[in-house]
A = this chain, B = another copy of it.
Amino acid sequence: MPLMKSWVASANSADCPFPLNNLPYGVFSTEGEDPRCGVAIGEMVLDMAAAEEEGLIELADEPLFDLPFWNVLMEEGPAVWAALRARLTALLAEGTKERDRVEPLLVPLAEVTLHMPFMVSEYTDFYAGRHHATNVGTMFRGAENALPPNWLHLPIGYNGRASSVVVSGTPVRRPWGQLKSADHALPAFLPCRRFDLELEMGAIVGADSDGPITVAEADANIFGYVLLNDWSARDIQAWEYQPLGPFQAKATATSISPWIVTKAALEPFRTDTPPREFELLDHLKDAGPMLYDIDLAVTLAPEGKPATTIARTNYKEMYYSSAQQLAHHTTSGCPMNVGDLLGSGTISGAGKEERGSLLELSWGGKEPLTLDTGETRSFLQDGDTLTLTGAARGDGYTIGFGDCTGTVLPALENPYAR
């Protein structure tokens, strides 16, 4: 599919993250006004509350967009999702007769504040990238036992903490936690020393289910995708995670990019999962191409200094797709709801520079990275700003997600001082 031209001129450049082909959904506010739904187009945001108020978009009896989240639109179901996309495409395409009515409803992106685009019902994080799982397993259990026996048969996941999900730009405070070093007999309560990122994609569930669903049904229930940084306290995790998995190590924050890129916008970029070492059981088999070709990158900028790109990889490196993860999530009868967020798991490629966490990039701290500034990093330092970017590259256009950034604040001096 080629670039679809818009009368919003800034949307027509091949590098613009928000061409007419994209139409990602966010929540924005302007000074003194309440957060409401918006759609990015070029360097502008279409005020969806105003468009609905003006009668330009009529999809339901009740307002869908004068709200600080997209959950209500999601609840309307896939037919309405498609109708909305078609209507937005018509309103913003070159040659539309409605330009005069739409143009006053555009707000420059540079003038808005972006908020969480949806209410997170529950958050699940997976461990479904093979290179990541192999790297981590090799470090902790040796190369021969790198992948747990179940890994090639099901997407391993754990429930995360929805309350900790924040939008890009929110600073993240280094947590305290219980740590136990090998050379101490007893644990201590201290600020985290091995604070890390995890480069992931997040899939947003757009429809309820109440029992096992197939992979094809799961794919149909996904509304869209965001970039996701699952901030991880590796030293807290090492002490706490046996036998029931990560808990406080992953509860400080999970950052997401501010724009929901719809599944519809990503259709041209579908690609197959990698070859299977073991045939998957029927209920997890691919139902067509289930991943997407999305270039991903991570930059790290020390406080007041320029950023270094520390990793480049692609979403197609995943072993399990989000649809397969969602299908697995329902096998037990677990009810899934609109607004559930599924983290893909850390996305790493085969190469050394394609690793989506500092744990892997610095090989557990044994091989610190050298930044372009000359500084080194094993794990994150206070003041570091991390930025995740993602781009699917089409014929003369780019589908972008908006940056997913966060700056590490120093730990509280005394977490119990009031």
Contacts and interface: CB of A to CB of B under 8 A. Distances in A.
For this chain, the copies found in one complex come to 2
Interface string A72-86: 000000000000000
A251 B332 contact: yes
Interface residues of A, number: 63
Contacts of A248: 328-329, 331-332, 334
A326 to B, nearest CB: 12
Given A127-B244, A159-B159, A245-B243, A416 B252 contact: no
A150 B240 contact: yes
Contacts of A121: 163
Interface stretch (A29-37, A174-182, A375-383): A174-182
Contacts of A164: 334-335
Contact of A281 (B149, B178, B245, B253): B178
A281 B252 CA distance: 20
Contact of A189 (B159, B253, B281): B281
Interface string A333-345: 1111100000000
Contacts of A335: 163-164
Contacts of A240: 150, 154, 156
Given A153-B187, A189-B282, A336 B243 contact: no
Interface of A: 121-122, 127, 148-150, 153-154, 156-164, 173, 175-178, 180, 186-189, 211-214, 233, 236, 239-249, 251-253, 278, 281-283, 328-329, 331-337, 412, 415-416
